[in-house]
């Protein structure tokens, strides 16, 4: 007689367990996906830096893109001194004014002196030599109008036949 209550108790326990599992499974089917999503894709509050490092549209990566040695955003040649030039020479006007010009170191010095005298360009301090190096190297005068001397010996002369 003492077996029965135990058996009943065991049965009830099993039933209880089955009910808990059933209800648990039911709830999981209903809300499980949401729960998993909630914990997996927690929206992280994004500040600008996170957004940029995540490759957002206005990311620094896009701003700093270099293609064929040209800094795309400014159009400046990406070379030594670039950062200092961009920092000082694009504050008042487009970098186009720089990239459209070519001059010797003296010529660039003159332009800088002119801007300092007339346009409020600040004293460039020790950056000036870096800037001038950059400009004189990357935006030196093109040798327009100069060509190699003609070697008269090598020219194959021919007569124009004007009678035809
Ligand atoms: C404080 C403002 C300012 C800064 C900074 C500045 N410029 Fe200028 N720059 C001017 C102004 C104003 C002009 C005249 C713009 C115009 O003609 O439309 C000018 C014109 C120029 C021109 C055209 C000159 C010409 O003869 O047509 C060049 C090249 C130039 N700047 C280069 C530079 C370089 C290189 C730097 C960095 C060292 C620089 N600028 C920084 C104000 C500035």
User: Can you read off the two tokens belonging to residue 14?
Assistant: 């099993």
d(CA 39, CA 25): 19
The residue extents of the domains of the chain are 1-43, 47-73, 75-144
What band does 28 get if pLDDT is binned at 50, 70 and 90? confident
Residue 158: burial class (beta carbons within 10 Å; 0-12, 13-18, 19+): exposed
Mutate to test the pocket of ligand 1, among 115, 128, 140 (most ligand atoms within 8 A of CB): 115
Q: What percent of the chain has pLDDT over 70?
A: 76
Residues contacting 115, CB < 8 A, separation 6+: 121
Question: Under CATH, what is the fold of the domain 75-144?
Answer: Cytochrome Bc1 Complex; Chain D, domain 2 (1.10.760)
- Nearest-angstrom CA–CA distance, 103 and 108: 6
pLDDT at 49: 53
Question: Across residues 10-37, what is the average pLDDT?
Answer: 86
pLDDT at 63: 81
Q: What is the pLDDT of residue 146?
A: 58
Chain segment 6-18, per-residue pLDDT in tens: 888 899 999 999 9
Q: For residue 72, what pLDDT is reported?
A: 94
Cα-flanking dihedrals φ and ψ of residue 98, to 5°?
Answer: -75, -50
For ligand 1, residues with CB inside 6 Å are 88-89, 91-93, 97-98, 101, 111-112, 115, 119-121, 131, 135
CA of 90 from ligand 1 middle (Å) equals: 8
Asked if 139 contacts 99 with a C-beta cutoff of 8 angstroms, the reply is yes
Q: What is the pTM of this model?
A: 0.63
Per-residue pLDDT reduced to its tens digit, 107-147: 999 999 999 999 999 999 999 999 999 999 999 998 755 56
State residue 43's pLDDT score.
53
Quick check: 112 and 128 in contact, CB under 8 A? Answer: yes
What local confidence, expressed as pLDDT, does residue 91 receive? 94
Which residue matches tokens 């070519």?
102
pLDDT at 162: 77
């Amino acid at each position: 007689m003492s077996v029965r209550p135990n058996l009943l108790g065991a049965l009830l326990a099993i039933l209880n367990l089955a009910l808990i599992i059933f209800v648990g499974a039911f709830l999981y089917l209903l809300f499980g996906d949401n729960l998993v999503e909630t914990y997996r894709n927690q929206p992280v509050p994004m500040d600008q830096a996170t957004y940029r490092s995540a490759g957002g549209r206005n990311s620094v990566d896009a701003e700093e893109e270099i293609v064929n040695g040209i800094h795309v955003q400014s159009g400046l040649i990406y070379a030594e001194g670039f950062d200092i030039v961009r920092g000082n020479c694009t504050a008042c006007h487009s970098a186009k004014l720089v990239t459209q010009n070519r001059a010797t170191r003296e010529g660039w010095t003159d332009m800088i002196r002119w801007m300092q005298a007339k346009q409020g360009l600040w004293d460039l301090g020790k950056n000036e030599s870096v800037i001038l190096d950059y400009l004189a190297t990357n935006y030196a005068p093109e040798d327009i109008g100069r060509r190699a001397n003609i070697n008269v010996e090598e020219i194959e002369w021919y007569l124009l036949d004007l009678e035809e």
